[in-house]
Amino acid sequence: MSVRKLALITGSTSGIGLAIAEVFARNGLEVILHGLESIQEGEAIAQRFDTEFGHRPHYFQTDISQPEAIERLMERINEEVGAPTVVVNNAGIQFTSPVQDFPPQTWDKIIAINLSAAFHTSRLALPAMIDQGWGRIINISSVHGLVASVNKAAYCAAKHGLVGFTRVTALENAAKGITANCICPGWTDTPLLVDQLKEFAEQNNTSFEEAKRGLINAKAPYPEFVAPAEIGELALFLCSDAAKAITGTALPIDGGWTAH
């Protein structure tokens, strides 16, 4: 049976999500772009995809911090493009602070975007995947879904939660042709790290470039950032037939960070 591989990648205007969308499009999957950026910015990316990959994706601009907004987003996608058979829950934000100073509203926002949004897209996408007998849910967790770091209470809680949520989704759907997995990246060179790099540079009185080296050395034995495209290639493999028995996992791509 041939299945339409139609992939929604949340947060695909930047960083890891954009790289996953590029790898998917280059390899013949249909992609749906999503993010916070303006329609104009999203359409510019879609136009570039058309030129580079011969596939012009739809772009949806939606803040996914509210369940109702995600419901409207999924309705529009179903009406305008079709039911996604691959959902990559990638959109995420970061904020660092000790627990006692962590702003409660920021905690709520991180849990909403980094964890609850994956529940909402999954619950809304699963019925069509079950009907088709094929589906892939790929949740972009983090090394911080497996281990902790100081000052990242909400991020670690959300990313650990995502690993647990993914395991349940995998168990419930393992006999239905649907897999659910987490990818757990270590330091990856994207705009998400800019604030942490600035803070590291200030605290250690170093340049932005030296801060990059410092962050890597602090955690991972492999001396380079993970490239966003490498995460795209792993996500692509999870969409393949060869990966149909890989489900319920949390796969680190972290330069050995979690081997400690």
Work out whether 216 is an interface residue with ligand NAD (CB under 6 A): no
Work out whether 232 is an interface residue with ligand NAD (CB under 6 A): no
In the shown chain, the binding pattern of residues 32 to 71 toward ligand NAD, with x for contact by CB under 6 A and - for none, equals: ---xxx-------------------------xxx------
Work out whether 84 is an interface residue with ligand NAD (CB under 6 A): no
Work out whether 190 is an interface residue with ligand NAD (CB under 6 A): yes
CA distance 107 to 113: 10
Q: In the bound complex, what is the minimum distance in angstroms from residue 111's beta carbon to ligand NAD?
A: 12
Q: In the bound complex, what is the minimum distance in angstroms from residue 2's beta carbon to ligand NAD?
A: 30
Q: How far is CA 228 from CA 3, 189, 233, in A?
A: 27, 7, 9
Q: In the bound complex, what is the minimum distance in angstroms from residue 64's beta carbon to ligand NAD?
A: 4
**Closer Cβ to ligand NAD, 17 or 161, answer by number:** 17
Task: Tell me if residue 104 falls in helix, strand or coil.
Answer: helix
Work out whether 124 is an interface residue with ligand NAD (CB under 6 A): no
Q: Has 155 been annotated as catalytic?
A: yes
Work out whether 191 is an interface residue with ligand NAD (CB under 6 A): yes
Work out whether 92 is an interface residue with ligand NAD (CB under 6 A): yes
The angle formed by the CA atoms of residues 66, 67 and 70, to the nearest 5 degrees, is 95
Contact 192, 90 (CB under 8 A): no
- Of the candidates 51, 39, 46, which has an alpha carbon nearest to the alpha carbon of residue 18? 46
- Residue 148: which residues within 8 A CB-CB, separation 6 or more? 156
In the block, residue with structure tokens 């916070």: 36
b (16+ CB within 10 A) / e for 4-20? ebbbbbbbbbbbbbbbb
- Residue 202: which residues within 8 A CB-CB, separation 6 or more? none
Torsion angle of C-alpha atoms 73, 78, 81, 85, degrees rounded to 10: 100
Contact 185, 16 (CB under 8 A): yes
Q: In the bound complex, what is the minimum distance in angstroms from residue 58's beta carbon to ligand NAD?
A: 15
Site for ligand NAD, residues 5 to 34, rule: CB under 6 A: 11, 13-17
Stretch that binds ligand NAD, among 80-88, 181-189, 232-240, 241-249 (CB under 6 A): 181-189
Check 49, 107, 119, 155 and give the catalytic one: 155
Stretch that binds ligand NAD, among 43-51, 86-94, 172-180, 240-248 (CB under 6 A): 86-94
Contact footprint for ligand NAD (CB under 6 A): 11, 13-17, 35-37, 63-65, 90-93, 113-114, 140, 142, 185, 187-188, 190-193
Write out the catalytic residue numbers.
155
